Amino acid sequence: MRLTFLGSGTSFGVPVVGCGCTVCRSSDPRDRRTRSGALVETDGHTLLIDAPPELRLQLVDAGVQRLDAVWITHPHADHLHGLDDLRIFSVRSGRDLDVFLGGEHADEVRRRFAYVFDGEAAPSGTSKPRLRLRAFGPGDDVPVPGGPARPLPVPHGPMTVYGLRIGSLGYVTDGKVLPPPVLESLRGVEVLVLNALWWGDPHPTHFNVEEAVEAARTVGARRTYLTHLTHRQSHDDLERRLPPEVRPAYDGLVVDL
């Protein structure tokens, strides 16, 4: 199994528009963070996690030729608004691409991208993605290509975000706490991915770095990678201050499991 971080930034991305802070002006390429997304390659299958606004550029940079399915963790803009970039895959394959998501999010995605899911909408002179929504419940084993995957429902304010466990990988973004059922589902993972905004100030709907480190210790994975990072800390600072079993992710990082 191979995990590729397509993007490791929070909703503003890094550099932030109009910001002159040290991290936004950094020459370290690991401090340039597009919005959060990832690829999981298993047994010849490729699963995309989320469709951030920079998706086309991320897929080009990663050399992606094909996708077998997509997992949408939740319908916030920084995780969803690159959805139209998926149309190249259905244009090439001539087939619908399965998009797996929590059942309560399906109507929101259909509303946000009505032109995609309205069978009567036929764009003139261009194409649209051919996507098939595959809604799941919190306790389902989801038949993703290369799976199955187990949903990991975590609270994100009033919304539930669905991370996933697939094989020895656990991936949780945009969460504030790992509820007991999620901790049970993560038992025995080799690699864990957690969101973490910054050191210090608690956030109401995301882990800060200290909280993510504590959650990582509770899970006990051999390696934990922090993603969904802001411009309030540099990659170098995180590497120096984090415990050795917890590392900051960066755009383009490849992890073999």
Ordered per-residue pLDDT tens for the chain, 257 residues: 999 999 999 999 999 999 999 999 999 999 999 999 999 999 999 999 999 999 999 999 999 999 999 999 999 999 999 999 999 999 999 999 999 999 999 999 999 999 999 876 666 667 899 999 999 999 999 999 999 999 999 999 999 999 999 999 999 999 999 999 999 999 999 999 999 999 999 999 999 999 999 999 999 999 999 999 999 999 999 999 999 999 999 999 999 99
Cα four-point dihedral sign 183, 146, 62, 69: negative
Angle 34-38-43 (CA atoms, 0-180°, nearest 5)? 155
Angle 179-183-189 (CA atoms, 0-180°, nearest 5)? 150
* Structure tokens given for 195: 């969101």
d(CA 16, CA 4): 23
Amino acid at the residue 7: G
3-state secondary structure of 9: strand
d(CA 230, CA 116): 32
3-state secondary structure of 133: strand
**Cβ–Cβ under 8 Å, residues 189 and 165:** yes
The pTM of the whole model exceeds 0.95: yes
Q: Which of 66, 80, 255, 102 is nearest to 169 (CA)?
A: 255
The topology under which CATH files domain 2-256 is Metallo-beta-lactamase; Chain A (3.60.15)
